[in-house]
Amino acid sequence: MKKYILGLGLFFILQLTCAQGTLSNEAARNMEITQKVDSVLSLMTLPEKIGQMNQYNGFWEVTGPTPKDGDAARKYEHLKAGLVGSMLNVRGTEEVEKLQKIVVEETRLGIPLIIGFDLMHGYKTISPIPLAEAASWDLDAIGNSAAVAAEEAAASGINWTFAPMIDISRDARWGRVMEGAGEDPYLGSKIAYARVKGFQGDDLAATNTIAACAKHFAGYGFSESGRDYNTVDVGTSTLYNTIFPPFMAAIDADVKTIMNSFNELNGIPATGNGFLQRSVLKEEWKFKGFVVSDWGSINEMINHGYAKDGKQAAELAVNAGSDMDMESYHYVKYLEGLVDSGAVDEALVNDAVKRILRVKFELGLFDDPFKYCDREREKQLIGSKKNMDAVLDMAKKSIVLLKNEGGLLPLQKSGLKIGLIGPLADDKDSPLGSWRLAADDNSAVSVLEGLKAYPGNAITHKQGVALTLEKPSFILETKINTTDRSGFEEAVQAARNQDVVIMVLGEHGFQTGEGRSRVSLDLPGLQQELLEAVYKVNKNIVLVLMNGRPLAINWADTNVPAIVEAWHLGTQSGHAIAQVLYGDYNPSGKLPMTFPKNVGQVPIYYNFKNTGRPTIPAPDLVFWSHYTDMDNDPLYPFGHGLSYSKFKYGDLKLSENRLIGEGKMEVSFTLTNIGKYEGKEVVQCYLRDLVASVTRPVKELKDFKMVSLKPGESREVIFTLDKSSLAFYSANNKWETEPGDFKVFVGGSSKTVLEGDFSYER
Ligand code: BGC
């Protein structure tokens, strides 16, 4: 206790000497923090500084006995010696308190730990996976979802999350697409901003906000052939125009930390990449927070063939701007020697430590290291009605109606005989998705439970087939059933003579996420067979898909009348799905990622380049950019999503056909609800820059709005564009707007319906 008091006393003195009048504005507060950081740094020995740059994974039941040998014992000793600045995967007030107590009471300076955790989609109350949330296009709801996760985790001792994941990806084979916002840099940037703000709030020192971490910097979503951790090789234009924008938006939102990535980028591992971390992030973008490595990524530079051993890996990483070492142990082992030998300038260590201390000060950890450990709040918040309501709201907004023919949906609430079939229909675990480390297993509301909340219809439920062979987990391969069809017959019998059959098929939550790349985008296992077998006896099928990536569901699209994309929607999954099926919530989600017809089309995305041979020159000629065995079109384009209402777009007007200099231009049109239900439509505005110094995509999303209309109601919608909407990273290696001709498109998906022309002059 003595040392902790000494440590705290020191900070109080610092506070007194540093407080410059009232902290009335941000600049004063910044200055005050800078002074405090400098004062603390001046007290630190080199090993203590290096300790701040060292992060360990949680290692033993902190509440249990003190570890005596092995890795855990070493970590424990390091904690007591002031050689650890952060822990991850430690959670719960009791555990966090114990750890924090060790560092504040037993180390010389008592510098508190920053406690990190992956809140990709919630803490204990699980929200929809991020790809699903992105499908809502509802930035307020997405921000709120992050805020709910932050508040719940913050009450449980956590003050830093490794989220949001903002990697743009065009490859559905990559399992981590479930963690991101999809394929589009504009939508991805808006969502990155909303999520960072949601986690961090307006006051980072408040006890319901935590530091965010934008990841993975950079290019991780472009791993070759969609295989996780694989090589990334992209050109300047893709890097700047597609991969960087969400990170720029996160920095705009004042994100406190950034995580680098496992991949190499154009021959240099991101972790040792000075261009990415120093030149771009810290110099060009003036990022003030700190960079944490990805798990063991400093060490992995040896496998990449970039460092010969751990010592060189540490040298390369710190020189390139990786401030904190997650679980490689190389900084704590080698950095002191590297500084002593002159291989690493101590100024770089100082810079890293200052960045880390700054975030700790901003979180208020120096004022009260235990502020995030509040047992009462922890009890009240976790699983609270308020949080359940928030994730239910988010889940409904995330659902995308892919197809609805013959008026099968919404279902009437009474008098129907419903068959409910499929391995995911009564699954209470899979909807929790992949990153739900703190959630209780089997804590989601299943579709069966959700439907039972509507007692007016008779439900016959049969699983039909098992999807997995063993209970899936976060760390092991999910074993898929490919042989056991024993439940088929019973399911087919149950499907006969029903008015409607709801089939709940897709991927298990642990089939997507880290390390879960797939070469097939089909329904896994025997589900396609089951679907076709049921279809033979009853064609009135509503297919409810649960999945973490776009799937190739061509057969279903051709044959099944109604398809609902329900992703992995989290704790309240079943209620959200039932409310959509019964029309108590009119779906408004739109796909944030293109659905291919066939995995061979991947990477497939709406903002592709035209190529030199975009169209067939004459019947049957082969010399154009196409496949010989399938067309180029996706099954469902980016931005696609239906409603129980129907929307008509018309009357496009451009306020100018020449946009000049700093001027503005309005693109207006009339949206009419020609359906029977009140509904919401996400209206989308795209541009095409016809000729530029580097080729531009055939369409680029530039704005969107959510418009609610009653049946028969019309509204004029206006998008305002200016030269910033036309800017891109040009052949001159800078962001600029080039003069020339443009097309503007408007519609309810990237397959837009209205089109106009204009030019831009400087
Ligand atoms: C992942 C990161 C994650 C980290 C800590 C890594 O394997 O790539 O996204 O934040 O583990 O859990």
Q: With a cut of 70, which residues of the chain have pLDDT below it?
A: 1-24, 60-63
Q: Give distance in angstroms: CA of 296 to centre of ligand 1.
A: 9
Residue 162 CB less than 6 A away from ligand 1:
yes
Residue 514 CB less than 6 A away from ligand 1:
yes
pLDDT in tens, 25-54: 888 999 999 999 999 999 999 999 999 999
Q: What pLDDT shows up at residue 238? A: 98
Residue 124 CB less than 6 A away from ligand 1:
no
If you ran DSSP here, which 8-state letter would residue 478 be given? P
Residue 118 CB less than 6 A away from ligand 1:
yes
Q: Give distance in angstroms: CA of 69 to centre of ligand 1.
A: 26
Strands 500-506, 417-421: pairing is: parallel
Instruction: Single out the residue of 569, 524, 575 nearest to residue 546, CA to CA.
Output: 569
Cβ-based neighbours of 13, under 8 Å, separated by 6 or more: none
Residue 179 CB less than 6 A away from ligand 1:
no
Kindly report the protein residue whose alpha carbon is nearest to atom 2 of ligand 1: 294
Q: Give distance in angstroms: CA of 261 to centre of ligand 1.
A: 9
For ligand 1, pick from 117, 166, 295, 325 the residue to mutate: most ligand atoms within 8 Å of CB.
295
Kindly report the protein residue whose alpha carbon is nearest to atom 6 of ligand 1: 295
Kindly report the protein residue whose alpha carbon is nearest to atom 5 of ligand 1: 295
Q: Give distance in angstroms: CA of 131 to centre of ligand 1.
A: 17
DSSP for 648-660, please give it.
Answer: EEEEEEES-SEEE
Q: What pLDDT shows up at residue 22? A: 52
Q: What pLDDT shows up at residue 63? A: 65
Rounded to a whole number of angstroms, the distance between the first and last alpha carbons of the chain is: 66
pLDDT in tens, 668-725: 999 999 999 999 999 999 999 999 999 999 999 999 999 999 999 999 999 999 999 9
Residue 294 CB less than 6 A away from ligand 1:
yes
Active site residue 351: no
Residue 215 CB less than 6 A away from ligand 1:
yes
Domains, in order of start, for the chain:
1-114+361-371 (no CATH), 397-601 (3.40.50.1700), 647-761 (2.60.40.10)
φ and ψ of 594, to 5 deg: -65, 140
DSSP for 25-55, please give it.
Answer: SHHHHHHHHHHHHHHHHHH--HHHHHHHTEE
Determine if residue 651 is left, alpha or beta; phi over 0 gives left, psi from -120 to 50 gives alpha, anything else beta: left
Fill in the amino acid letter for 213: C
Instruction: Single out the residue of 519, 270, 562 nearest to residue 411, CA to CA.
Output: 562
Kindly report the protein residue whose alpha carbon is nearest to atom 4 of ligand 1: 295
Global pTM value: 0.97
Kindly report the protein residue whose alpha carbon is nearest to atom 10 of ligand 1: 162
Q: CB of 157 within 8 A of CB of 91?
A: yes
- Write out the H or E segment, with its range, that includes residue 160: strand 160-161
| Calpha distance 554→596 (Å, rounded) | 9
Q: Pick the catalytic residue: 138, 171, 184, 294? A: 294
Q: What number of other Cβ atoms are within 10 A of residue 336's Cβ?
A: 17
Instruction: Determine the angle formed by the axes of helices 330-340 and 310-320, rounding to 10 degrees.
Output: 80
Q: CB of 740 within 8 A of CB of 759?
A: yes
Kindly report the protein residue whose alpha carbon is nearest to atom 12 of ligand 1: 118
| Calpha distance 222→475 (Å, rounded) | 23
Kindly report the protein residue whose alpha carbon is nearest to atom 7 of ligand 1: 295
Return the ∠ at Cα 312 (arms to 307 and 313), rounded to 5°.
Answer: 65
Residue 315 CB less than 6 A away from ligand 1:
no
Residue 152 CB less than 6 A away from ligand 1:
no
Q: Give distance in angstroms: CA of 665 to centre of ligand 1.
A: 43
Strands 728-729, 714-722: pairing is: unpaired
Q: Which atom of ligand 1 is nearest to the CA of 216?
A: 9
Residue 762 burial (10 A CB sphere; 0-12, 13-18, 19+): exposed
Alpha-carbon distance values, 61 to 94, 153, 332, 474 (Å): 10, 19, 23, 19
Residue 360 CB less than 6 A away from ligand 1:
no
Name the token pair of 318. Answer: 């710190």
Q: Give distance in angstroms: CA of 294 to centre of ligand 1.
A: 6
